[in-house]
Amino acid sequence: MTSSSSSLLPSTTAVVPIANVETKSTKNRQYLCLLSVITAGLLDEDIGSDEQEIIEIVNLIIDVDQKQRVAVHRQYVRPSLIENLTDESKQASGVDENLVFSSDIDLDGALVKFDRFLRDQYLHPDFNVNFTLVCENCLHLRQCLHPESVKKSTVPLPTYYWSYFDMRHEFAHMYTTTERPDLKIMLEKLSITSVDEPDYCMRHARNMELIVYQMLKDGYQFKKPESIMVHLQQGLCSLEDNIEESTVVRARGLPWQCTDQDVAKFFRGLDIEKGGVALCLSSQGRRNGEALVRFVTVEHRELALRRHKHHIGQRYIEVYKATGRDFLNVAGGKY
């Protein structure tokens, strides 16, 4: 296995090919793409909750059969809403502020550039390649990339961003533990020393790499990736339906013209139940800027609550806990 330190990656966009990819053989191999992103704000368990922009993306691609790295694709992403990083952010991320703000690509450009790279290397799923993202947890995709891209991007996200392996889930399944350990605990449990790397995003990806190699060595197979909801499905409910109490939120402050699809877009990255958006009406029968939203799991509802005071345009949206009865009263037509 050949390693690569960040000293080899000084530019705002850099690709380090590690192994030659044979075009004829890619269809018969499984490739895992270890995705790590950082924002200009909070990291770790709180990443995405402060609605800060993505400033660095690392994709580290592994050939599962060969148990070796194929390439590292690293990009600094120029933010559009801020002009500098806070001292706290620079210290926590280890990122070079000059590289971020001298980057010539925004988020759209970064996504397009990586997609082109996959095509050039014949690793793109459009070539019938078994290519799947791996994240330490759901936050990098569900709370960062998806919500930011739906606000900024002029083109839809490629299909490979709509499914992924959650390392915490896979690790818990492999080593039969009820907890979902973070990266630090995974390393400790496997007696692996963290890589010496000042840049948070690159260190994160390379530590995931070490854990994946050990899991593969221990015989683990990455088989069933999680999917992210693409479109809100329509559905009906009645006052007699049984709804899990801890899966509903109330969104307040919505633009009056907001549709159920607009509400689902605000919660992009999270999975909403079929017919799970109920728009509230005033006594005059007009939309009053509130909606009840029912998610598929308690976990997704908790992630939705982290979007409290995130924005639709210039408006910030308040997100509060609600009950299954609240949802049924609106969706079932009682109110």
Which pLDDT score is estimated for 8?
44
Q: 189, 175 in Cβ contact below 8 A?
A: yes
Residue 62 has pLDDT above 90, yes or no: yes
Q: Is the pLDDT of residue 74 over 80?
A: yes
How far from the centroid of its chain's Cα atoms is residue 226's Cα? 12
pLDDT greater than 80 at residue 238: no
- Report pTM: 0.91
- Give the Cβ contact number of residue 274 at 10 Å: 13
User: How high does pLDDT run on average in the chain?
Assistant: 91
Report whether 73 contacts 130 (CB < 8 A): no
> Can you give the length of the chain in residues?
335
- More reliable by pLDDT, 21 or 318: 318
Among the listed residues 76, 61, 74, 75, the one whose alpha carbon sits nearest the alpha carbon of residue 21: 61
DSSP track, 5-28: -GGG--SSEEEEE-SPPPGGGGGG
User: Alpha helix (H) ranges present in the chain?
Assistant: 87-93, 97-101, 107-120, 139, 146-152, 167-174, 183-189, 200-217, 260-266, 298-305, 324-331
Any idea what DSSP says for residue 273? E
In angstroms, rounded to a whole number, what is the distance separating the alpha carbons of residues 91 and 305?
28
Domains with residue ranges and CATH for the chain? 6-227 (3.30.420.10), 245-331 (3.30.70.330)
Place of tokens 């549709």: 259
49 token code pair:
């909750």
Q: How confident is the model at residue 27 (pLDDT cuts 50, 70, 90)?
A: low
Structure tokens at 6: 């960040």
Written as six digits, the tokens of 48 are 């995405």
Q: Is the pLDDT of residue 9 over 60?
A: no
Mean pLDDT of the 223-243 span:
86
Phi and psi torsions of 315, nearest 5°: -95, 135
With CA atoms as reference, report the closest residue to 89 among 57, 124, 133, 56.
Answer: 56
Q: Is residue 34 within 8 Å of 134, Cβ to Cβ? A: yes
Token match 């948070």: residue? Answer: 200
Show the tokens assigned to 161.
């961003």
Residue 261's SS3 state is: helix
**What's the DSSP call for residue 258?**
-
Note the pLDDT tens digit of each residue in 100-152.
999 999 999 999 999 999 999 999 999 999 999 999 999 999 999 999 999 99
- Run of H or E residues at 72: strand 68-76
What is the average pLDDT across 56-80?
97
Give dist(CA 96, CA 109) in Å, integer.
20
Contacts 24+ apart (CB under 8 A), 312-318: 312/254, 312/255, 312/258, 312/262, 312/266, 313/255, 315/253, 315/254, 315/255, 316/253, 317/251, 317/252, 317/253, 317/254, 317/266, 318/251, 318/252, 318/253
> Using CA atoms, how far apart are residues 5 and 305, in angstroms rounded to an integer?
37
